[in-house]
């Protein structure tokens, strides 16, 4: 159904046709954490969807008509409507599709999730800095910055006294943050959450969530991708296929 293992489309490829009725399309890349947010929501809400993977190192020209910024994820529905920016795609899906609601109905609780999400905002760029660092042995400065950001999240869990950031089961903000914590494990940085025990427990609990397990990345495949990606190889995005 999801087609998440399809080869990516690159420069010179034909633009895909319109999206069939009853399906929503996500332009994605198998290892992109931002696109993973959207795929987690699609999975959690069991939304019928198709995946078109984009070669981010050799983008098709037609892709800029889907998103002028040329970034994934992008949603396209059968009316030709396009939605981009990962957090916006996630909220759109929650509002447009019935079934399990990932954002609370209560206006304050919804705002609370967004304030928590804001606390997380520095983490993606920190992970990018780590990945791009040549000498991975000397990352004590980065580790310190990570720990500072993680303490903010730990404090939320301490105050709320729940296993997940929205309550007793995973909700929107958990899925929005998860892809980066998933990559901490795969990059063997588990010690970064040593000083934040509740966050560590949260990671373990997330891994047991059916939605998360369905999309969990294999460490070897991810590292294979990363090596090629850092060398700007056009083969990176399809590694493992």
Binding residues (CB under 8 A) for other proteins: these are 68, 77, 81, 83-85, 88-89, 91-92, 95-96, 107-108, 110-111, 114-115, 118
Q: Within the chain, what is the greatest distance between any pair of CA atoms?
A: 53
**CA torsion sign, 212 to 36 to 183 to 196?**
negative
Nearer to other proteins, 12 or 68 (CB): 68
Nearer to other proteins, 75 or 217 (CB): 75
Nearest-angstrom CA–CA distance, 209 and 214: 9
Evaluate whether 199 touches 193 at the Cβ level (below 8 Å): yes
Tokens read off for 208: 């047991």
Q: Clarify whether 32 is annotated catalytic.
A: yes
Judging by beta carbons within 10 Å of its beta carbon (0-12, 13-18, 19+), is residue 151 exposed, middle or buried?
middle
Q: Which of 32, 90, 139, 147 is catalytic?
A: 32
Nearer to other proteins, 118 or 227 (CB): 118
Q: Smallest distance from the beta carbon of 101 to other proteins, in angstroms?
A: 13
What angle, rounded to 10 degrees, do the helices at 86-96 and 172-186 form?
Answer: 140
Q: Smallest distance from the beta carbon of 194 to other proteins, in angstroms?
A: 23
Nearer to other proteins, 117 or 126 (CB): 117
Chain CA centroid to CA 3, Å: 17
Q: Which residues have a catalytic role annotated?
A: 32
């Amino acid at each position: 159904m999801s087609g998440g293992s399809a080869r990516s489309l690159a420069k010179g490829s034909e633009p895909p046709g319109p999206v069939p009725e009853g399906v929503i399309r996500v332009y994605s890349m198998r290892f992109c954490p931002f696109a993973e947010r959207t795929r987690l929501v699609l999975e959690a809400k069991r939304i019928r969807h198709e995946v078109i993977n984009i070669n981010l190192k050799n983008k098709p020209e037609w892709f800029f008509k889907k998103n002028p910024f040329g970034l994934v994820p992008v949603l396209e529905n059968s009316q030709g409507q396009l939605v981009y920016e990962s957090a916006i795609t996630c909220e759109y899906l929650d509002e447009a599709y019935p079934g399990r609601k990932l954002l609370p109905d209560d206006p304050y609780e919804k705002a609370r999730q967004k304030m928590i999400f804001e606390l997380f905002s520095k983490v993606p760029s920190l992970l990018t800095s780590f990945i791009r660092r040549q000498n991975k042995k000397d990352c004590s400065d980065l580790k310190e910055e990570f720990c500072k950001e993680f303490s903010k999240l730990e404090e939320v869990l301490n105050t709320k006294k729940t296993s997940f950031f929205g309550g007793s089961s995973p909700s929107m903000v958990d899925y929005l943050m998860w892809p980066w914590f998933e990559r901490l494990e795969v990059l063997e940085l588990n010690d970064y959450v040593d000083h934040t025990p509740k966050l560590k427990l949260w990671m373990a609990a997330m891994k047991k969530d059916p939605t998360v397990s369905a999309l969990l990345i294999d460490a070897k495949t991810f590292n294979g991708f990363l090596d090629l990606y850092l060398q700007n190889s056009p083969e990176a995005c399809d590694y493992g296929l």
